[in-house]
Amino acid sequence: MKPILMTLTFYKYQGTGNDFIILDNRSGQFPKNNHNLVAKLCDRKFGIGADGLMLLETETNFDFKMVYFNSDGAQSTMCGNGGRCLAAFAKSIGVIGNEGLFNAVDGSHEVVIKEDQVILGMKKVDEVQNKGKYIFLDTGSPHHVQFVSDTEKVNINDQGAKLRYGMYGAQGANINFVSLDSTGLHRIRTYERGVEGETLSCGTGVTAAAIAIHEQNAEYISPISLHTKGGLLKVHFTKVDQGYSKIFLEGPAEFVFKGEISI
């Protein structure tokens, strides 16, 4: 029998179906370098199950710090839905009120909470690479946005993996497929690196897609709404000479359950 090193209290949150394990790590006790442990906790068969794991930590001059791991156990780039969920958690434990400022791997993020909506300030986008058939940009994580006639007819895991590895190599990128349905609604499906498959929603992907939609057709103005498999997200932005600023990702972030697990 393996010895139990510690018992973790965890919180499960989801933002439009993008689900996360959240740990209050202000004490610094969680073994962040144990990537196998993170992967096991995120495993849906042998662990708690999640798209990613987040730690809330202390940070000088900020309300808190966000540390994010993909479900494969590797520490990753920014996660928009994760940031919104972590802010909702921070409010629930009294770290922030309805407004806050936190630090993440891509810099500082302001957040405003209005009832069931969490509005997250995203990093400025300095460059949008319009390749014609697709658009590439970085919204805290690298994103490939490809427009298709119908996202429901795309084999996301197959086509996403081909582009993620074939076009972007070992480092990879997140692959988004976007379509406009007959009712005028933009729909998006995303293959996420680190998860290595489709997730129900991706916040930085939705942000990238909204900007790509405006790049393709300036008649679509801020805010732009996109329907993910897990629900509706809205992106606010301001177009500037070389890119986009004042970018905000808006949507729900919901507590699912709290539990304990021994590691």
**Cα distances (angstroms) measured from residue 22 to each of 29, 252, 255, 257:** 14, 16, 10, 11
Q: How far apart are CA 67 and CA 192, in angstroms?
A: 18
List 202, 208, 211, 247, catalytic entry: 202
For the stretch 39-47, contacts whose Cβ atoms lie closer than 8 Å and that sit 24 or more positions apart, written own/partner, are: 39/71, 39/72, 39/73, 41/10, 41/261, 41/263, 42/69, 42/71, 42/72, 42/73, 43/71, 47/261
For the record, the structure tokens of 194 come out as 């680190």
The strand ranges marked E within the chain are 7-15, 18-24, 52-57, 64-70, 99-104, 107-114, 117-121, 128-130, 134-138, 142-147, 174-180, 186-192, 197-199, 224-228, 231-240, 243-252, 254-262
Known catalytic residue at 85: no
Active site residue 42: no
* Helix spans in the chain (H): 35-42, 80-92, 156-166, 203-216
Cα(221)–Cα(54) distance, integer angstroms: 33
Q: Which of 42, 53, 66, 79 is catalytic?
A: 79
In one-letter notation, the amino acid at residue 244 is: Y
Active site residues: 79, 202
